[in-house]
Structure 1
Amino acid sequence: MSNETSRKIEKHPWSYREGTIVTGLILLLGFALQAASGGIVLRIAGFPWNLIAGIIFLFLLVLAFYRWKNHPVMKWLGGVKAALPAILGFTFLVLLMGFIKQDVEPKSAPIKLLGLTHLVKTWPYMLINLYLMILLGIATLKRITPFNYKNAGFFLNHFGLFLVLLSTALGSSDIQHVTMNCYENETEHNALDTSGKPVEMPVTIKLLNFNIDEFRPKVTIIDNKTGQIVLNKNKNPFELLDRNTLDIYGYHLEVEQFLESSGKVGDSYVALNEPGSAPSAKVKVTKDGSEISGWVYSGSYVNQPETLKLNENHSLVMLPAEPRKFSSELNIQTQSGKNVTTTIEVNRPFHIDGWTIYQLSYKTEMGRWSNLSVLELVRDPWLPIVYLGIFLMMAGAAFLFITGNPKDGGTKHVA
């Protein structure tokens, strides 16, 4: 750098224009590296190398800040004129992730080359994330010396966000996602990773019982010639059998009898609770003075559904019941000696020894009679640091809300 250029930098600190240029160059460099590498999926090294890399990054950041903290460029990096364009650049990538479906096979060569279907594992995302962490780190260090009451809220906000970005970046390679197929009254300790490879788990799970609560089934009208559902002037073609009378496509239905679980005996259905039994209903259907009565049956993996022919054009069909909720009663044993019996369901996971166990799926073709429960087990050892960062951000927001922004002293907030 020439003496003239150096004097210009010292005399004229950079502004939003330079911030936009730097952010744009980082994104262009990232996409260039991504294209040059053939659209490679990046993966950060796992523990302990990611931890070592994080410590080195923090050391170099602190060293650089205290070595050049009075330099105009360092002051600019810790200010809003660098931060705002960087945030906009990061937001641009987030918007791309919203418009382009992620973690799928790319449909065209340019999308694959730029890594647009896996952006969080690409050079542009990693570089802009690193740049944001540098800016946040410098802005946070500026408020540590001198640290006082006026700087507390700002410090908590920015240091919390810094922790979230750092831990999610470094911890991405340590996250484990596996699925486990558990059959009733059987013990399982093997799972499958995202590539389908078997993984021996440090937990053993026995499925004691699998339960499904179902909604009442829906009915609809189909065309006898095409077998297609008859559409009724943009109205919902399905009606839920949760009441005794209803109207659908000009037909008036009266539910004379409804059986939640049934089987066919002769020409009618009776209540039955054994594998393969399914909902049925005896209905009376009237239209334009004509009347017909009969049974409709939703069918199951054992028995075929039964429809009620209304006339030459239309038939009434009962659809398979949809699950309201499903849950698994599990006995879980760990290598640490824990032995726990618990019940999990969708959105109600169970946490044990660093693992979170989710209710994922079941054997859908068997419906409520499924003897298979599919579980998802997730382990993220960096998650406590993410939670700590979020807590610090909330504490900083609360602090600023209670105390308000200081009217004197300090510098302007970065964000």
Structure 2
Amino acid sequence: MKKSFLKLAIIIPIILFFVGITLQGFLGDFPLQAFKFPINIIVFADVFISSIVLHWLFKNKNFIKFLSSGYAALSSIALFSAMVIIMVSTAQENTDNTFIKFFGFNNVIFTWTYALSSFYLLISLGLATLRRLFPFTTKNIFFYLNHFGFWLIVAAGSLGQADKQRLNISVPEGELVWYAHDSKGKYQEPDFAIKLDSFKIKYYPPKLAIVDIHGNMLKAKEFQPKELIKGEKIKYKAFNIEVLDIYENAIATKDTVLFVAGLPENTVVAKLKVNNKVLYIQNGTSFHNPILAKISAKERLAILSPEPSYFGSYIGLYTKTGIKNEKHLIEVNKPLIMKSWTIYQTSYFKLDDYSQDVYVSVLTAVYDPWLKIVYLGFAMLVIGVVYLIFSRPSLKIKK
């Protein structure tokens, strides 16, 4: 029986893989959107109940024994893992690569092969879990938690994709926005609105660079851009460069600095002394061109525009359930979680060249009502794994 189980463990994933590729080639993407709520709930229940019925009525049949065996578990995990590896190693976006596009590897979740691998894994895990559910011992309970947790992760993670939404929201400062756009640019109205009260941004210190006559930076091995710090001394070839002062919100002239209101906040002027000669340089913005300092026939000193070190949005949240102007701060890597929505800070831009102080915050709102079930599965999986690790009998060394 072991030999026949081993053959099945090798043959089944190969067959499923090629069946999936064939269906993908002839039918196109798997119709995952047809499984939106409540259809995915029905499918979820069907797979769960079908596993129980198969175990209850046919557990002594050889094929059901195989599906509940370790051979099928490893086989199904191998096929599912192969799809996950393809997904993480291939950009999940539109591509001009005919091969990748034909097999759907640029959108793995919507492939027939992924659907078949998920189904195979769910049936195998479900039957293996039921096989160990009785007798009701402590070890079997944690085995159940381990396997059923994994089952929940795969089931909720796969079926939940049909309900998942990803929306882009652009909110100018001081304005209330109740609409968004999906990845295809289609207009959407989520069940909440956002008012951007203020947008905060901080910058890293500007850097001194050396460029050629065409404005191209020198290679890193020749000169690595260095942070402009007042009092800093920099040596480059025969040039001794000292940073005398740094000015923000200013414009450099030939021999002085003018402070002007309304300039972009990342405008920087540096006063330098190069071999006892005082020079002024400035970074370029949408308001003015950069000012460079000539140090040789082919080299110029320049300031690289400061890069943002932090940005975040202070917002007022409004919902259809009655929340009015609830205050929140959304930062990079610190999203706002609201029921089944997670709102991320992704980027920003200026409203226009003439409104330098008005920012537009770009937010990404992800709707994933199945995420809590996935988290529950992870919790069960971790509890089961931890117990199984620490419950192993320790090896006793004979003296």
Q: Decide which of 184, 195, 209 is 1:195's aligned counterpart.
A: 184
Closer/same/farther in 2, CA of residues 199 and 354 from structure 1, 3 Å limit: same
- Tell me, yes or no, if structure 1 residue 106 matches structure 2 residue 96: yes
Corresponding residue of 1:237:
224
Indicate which of 128, 131, 136 corresponds to 2:120: 131
Residues 1:38 and 1:56: Cα distance change in structure 2 (over 3 Å): closer
* Distance across 1 between alignment mates of 2:274 and 2:109: 56
Q: Quote how far apart the aligned CAs of 1:193 are.
A: 1.3
Question: Among residues 264, 282, 289, which one is paired with 1:297 in the alignment?
Answer: 282
Query: Quick check: 1:204–1:333 contact (8 Å CA) kept in 2?
Result: yes
Matched, 1:307 2:295: no
User: For 2:246, what is the secondary structure of its paired residue?
Assistant: strand
Whether the 8 Å CA contact 2:211–2:301 is kept in 1: the answer is: yes
- Aligned AA (1:373): S
- Is 1:335 the counterpart of 2:323? The answer is no
Aligned-partner residue type, residue 314 of structure 2: E
Equivalence for 1:3: none
Find the counterpart in structure 2 of residue 223 from structure 1.
Answer: 212
Judge conservation of contact 1:13–1:76 (CA < 8 Å) in 2. Answer: no
Aligned to 1:172: 161
SS in 1 for 2:234: strand
Query: How far off is 1:12 after superposition?
Result: 6.1
Q: TM-score, normalised by structure 1?
A: 0.87
1:356 corresponds to: 342
**Within 2, Cα distance between the matches of 1:187 and 1:276?**
24
1:388 to 376, 386, 389: 376
1:373 is paired with a residue whose SS is strand
1:280 aligns with 2:269: yes
Specify whether residues 270 and 147 from structure 1 end up closer, same or farther in structure 2 by C-alpha distance, changes over 3 A only.
farther
Conservation of the 8 A alpha-carbon contact between 2:341 and 2:367: yes
* Number of residue equivalences: 390
Shift, 1:206, TM fit: 0.9
Verify the 8 A CA contact 1:212 1:368 in the aligned structure 2.
no
Q: Could you list the per-position Cα deviations for residues 318-343 of structure 1 after superposition, in whole angstroms to 9, with x for gaps in the alignment?
A: 11110001011101111111231111
1:163 aligns with 2:152: yes
In structure 1, the partner of 2:363 is 375
Unaligned runs of 5+ in 2: none
Tell me the residue number matched to 1:262. 250
Sequence identity percentage: 30
Q: Does structure 2 retain, via aligned residues, the 8 Å contact 1:245–1:252?
A: no
Offset at residue 271 of structure 1 (A): 5.0
Q: Is the 8 A contact 1:13 1:73 kept in 2?
A: no
Q: TM-score, normalised by structure 2?
A: 0.90
> Contact between 1:39 and 1:113, CA under 8 Å: does it hold in 2?
no
SS in 2 for 1:281: strand
SS across alignment from 2:178: strand
Is structure 2 residue 2 aligned with structure 1 residue 17? no
Instruction: Tell me, in whole angstroms, the C-alpha distance in 1 between the residues paired with 2:283 and 2:48.
Output: 62
Amino acid at match of 1:276: P
* Distance across 2 between alignment mates of 1:98 and 1:204: 33
Aligned counterpart, 2:332: 346
Hey, what does 1:28 align to over in structure 2? 18
What is the one-letter code of the residue matched to 1:241? L
1:231-267 superposed Cα distances (whole Å, 9 cap, x missing partner): 25x3563222246325365243211001233234674
RMSD (CA atoms) = 2.4
The change in CA–CA distance for 1:405 and 1:376 in structure 2 (over 3 A counts) is: farther
Kindly provide the amino acid, as one letter, of the partner of residue 274 in structure 2.
V
Of 72, 91, 99, the residue aligned with 2:62 is: 72
Distance 1:297 1:30, change over 3 A: same
Gaps of 5+ in 1: 1-10, 408-415
Q: How far apart, CA to CA, are the structure 2 residues paired with 1:155 and 1:267?
A: 77
What's the CA shift for 1:368?
A: 8.1
Partner Cα separation in structure 2 for residue 38 and residue 387 of structure 1: 32
The one-letter amino acid of 1:147's match is F
Measured after TM superposition, the shift of residue 378 of structure 1 is 1.2
Is the 8 Å Cα contact of residues 211 and 326 (structure 1) preserved in structure 2? yes
Does structure 2 conserve the Cα–Cα contact (< 8 Å) formed by 1:41 and 1:115? no
Contact 1:39–1:114, Cα closer than 8 Å, also in 2: no
> Distance in 2 between the 1:197 and 1:267 partners?
53
- 1:134 and 1:14 map into 2 onto residues whose CA distance is 19
